Amino acid sequence: MLRLYDTRTRQVEPIVPAGAGALRVYACGPTVYRFAHVGNLRSYLLPDLMRRVLERHRIRTVVCQNITDVGHLVDDDQIDPAGEDKVLQQARREGRSAMDIARFYEDAFRRDTAALNMRPPEYTPRASESIDLMIDLIAKLIDLGHAYQVDDGSVFFAAESFPSYGEISGNRLDALRPGHRVAGVDPRKRFHADWALWKGSDRELTWDAPWGRGFPGWHTECSAMSLRFLGERIDVHTGGKDLRFPHHEDERAQSDAAAGHEVVRHWVHGEHLLFDGRKMAKSTGNVVLLPDVAEAGLDPLAVRLALLEHRYRQQMNLTWDTLRAADRTLRRWRRRVAEWAESPSRPMSAPHAERAMAAFDDDLDTPAALRVLRELERDEQVAPGSRFETFLHLDQVLGLDLAAEVGRAPAAVPLPAGAAELLEARAKAREARDWPAADRLRDELAALGVAVADTPQGQTWS
């Protein structure tokens, strides 16, 4: 069975459904105010891989991934009712409405994930369309004594009412200093580590609530939507490592306080991705988008393959060189699979398939699985038809479209500069039976990457 590292328990644990039904997964989704870069997209590969591995074990998976299109402040640490929403800020920059901005970048995100062969989640609720769910959750937390209202219409979660706070990140309440995230302490709070569930405000993108007009806190959204679409028993919650604190700590406290029990069984986090040794940022000029990869002449799935070369919880450094290498490997594997498809069918190589699947099960050890494929590619003792079946079987998890060239006519490849003249000269040398010259010209062609073969009908090249 699949085993994953649980951030809260600090150990690798088996992943099985809590009941007889489907395994339920909640994945923190994008804030749709800009294009997702390849580092962002790495986080969304995690639930896709989980789903594909679980399907190999005949376990149905239901995934909910939210769309944050409201409530995410430029600085989420600031409990500032006048704080600017990221969507609103981008709308002002581009001279468009907030919802136009949100839908534009949401569509771009869906195109990117489709290009990376990530299967769409069963549920993709938008925060802006789930305000009633958040209001109901906040009202319940107030009734249970876990939240309190202040004079300006804001509502705060009472952190001290949830004693096990900090089990995910290790940031316990008794160790958090006042002003641990911002200078000073908000005088509206009863305890310095409390956070806003609702922020009273009359700016754009606000709604009426029993305690006043305002907008939801970022953490409120995920609790409300996960409880609504997956219920009070969620098997796995995924996200990037940076979300452990405060987002997932706050979300866990809200959900568990409302349900009266532990809602999420396993918290699984992916590591950061660097590009050219640095965190992606506009200031450093190393932000790489998926369309940038395509414009460079690389297959977008080369990004997926490059990401699979590292385990999901291992920090990785991506470069253009690694992307180009992944693209070459991807194209070579597709050619080999197309070649093997022409051979008689044979059962897949069970030893190779079993080793690769064992690697997938072992905390998604995708680098080990890829090593098995490389070994199989070179193993001439395994019949071509068997290699074909094995590659396609494992590609159901890898998602690299390795059968893309099966049945497709070979593309016409232009000769390198000067090769046509050398081929003509060699043909004349053969007619004159000048074999030393023909051999010398064959070597010159080989140096250009052109392989020449002599047949009864004359010379051929590839």
Asked whether residue 181 carries a pLDDT value surpassing 70, the answer given is no
What are the pLDDT digits (tens) for 82-95?
567 888 888 889 99
Answer for the pair 254, 223: CB distance below 8 angstroms, yes or no. Answer: yes
Asked whether residue 123 carries a pLDDT value surpassing 80, the answer given is yes
Asked whether residue 70 carries a pLDDT value surpassing 90, the answer given is no
Please give the average per-residue pLDDT across 328-339, as a whole number.
Answer: 96
Give the per-residue pLDDT at 407. 77
Superfamily of domain 3-148+158-178+219-270: HUPs (3.40.50.620)
Burial of 446: CB neighbours in 10 Å, binned 0-12, 13-18, 19+: exposed
222 is in an annotated binding site: yes
Give the per-residue pLDDT at 76. 55
Please give the average per-residue pLDDT across 133-139, as a whole number.
Answer: 98
Give the per-residue pLDDT at 199. 92
Which amino acid would we find at residue 261? H
The tokens describing 274, both together, are 């660097």
Answer for the pair 12, 268: CB distance below 8 angstroms, yes or no. Answer: no
| C-alpha span between 233 and 262 (Å, rounded) | 8
Asked whether residue 408 carries a pLDDT value surpassing 90, the answer given is no
Residue ranges per domain, the chain?
A: 3-148+158-178+219-270, 297-398, 419-461
Percent of the chain exceeding pLDDT 70 equals 95
Answer for the pair 2, 57: CB distance below 8 angstroms, yes or no. Answer: yes
Give the per-residue pLDDT at 194. 94
The tokens describing 39, both together, are 């580092």
State the DSSP H helix or E strand holding residue 452, giving kind and residue range, or none if neither: strand 452-455
Higher pLDDT, 220 or 185: 220
Answer for the pair 226, 26: CB distance below 8 angstroms, yes or no. Answer: yes
Give the per-residue pLDDT at 239. 96
HEC per residue, 284-336: HCCCCEHHHHHHCCCCCHHHHHHHHCCCCCCCEEECHHHHHHHHHHHHHHHHH
Asked whether residue 453 carries a pLDDT value surpassing 90, the answer given is no
Confidence of residue 328 (pLDDT cuts 50, 70, 90): very high
Please give the average per-residue pLDDT across 161-170, as a whole number.
Answer: 96
Answer for the pair 173, 192: CB distance below 8 angstroms, yes or no. Answer: no
What are the pLDDT digits (tens) for 362-375?
999 999 999 999 99
- CA 299 to mean position of chain CA atoms: 17
| Sign of the CA dihedral running 158, 160, 165, 170 | positive
Higher pLDDT, 75 or 143: 143
> Could you give the angle at the alpha carbon of 356 between the alpha carbons of 351 and 360, nearest 5°?
145
In three-state secondary structure terms, 61 is strand
Give the per-residue pLDDT at 412. 61
17-21, 83-87, 397-401, range with greatest mean pLDDT: 397-401
64 is in an annotated binding site: no
Asked whether residue 196 carries a pLDDT value surpassing 80, the answer given is yes
Confidence of residue 79 (pLDDT cuts 50, 70, 90): very low
Confidence of residue 433 (pLDDT cuts 50, 70, 90): confident
Please give the average per-residue pLDDT across 69-74, as a whole number.
Answer: 77
Give the per-residue pLDDT at 214. 93
The number of CA neighbours under 13 Å toward the Cβ of 446 is 8
Give the per-residue pLDDT at 457. 66
Mean pLDDT score of the chain, rounded to an integer?
92
Please give the average per-residue pLDDT across 408-414, as a whole number.
Answer: 65
376 vs 7, 336, 380, 386, 423, CA distance in Å? 34, 11, 8, 10, 35
Strands 23-27 and 61-65: parallel
94 vs 37, 126, 234, 300, CA distance in Å? 19, 22, 39, 27
247 is in an annotated binding site: yes
Higher pLDDT, 119 or 430: 119
Asked whether residue 155 carries a pLDDT value surpassing 60, the answer given is yes
Q: For 458, list phi and psi in degrees, rounded to 5.
A: 120, -175
Give the per-residue pLDDT at 286. 86
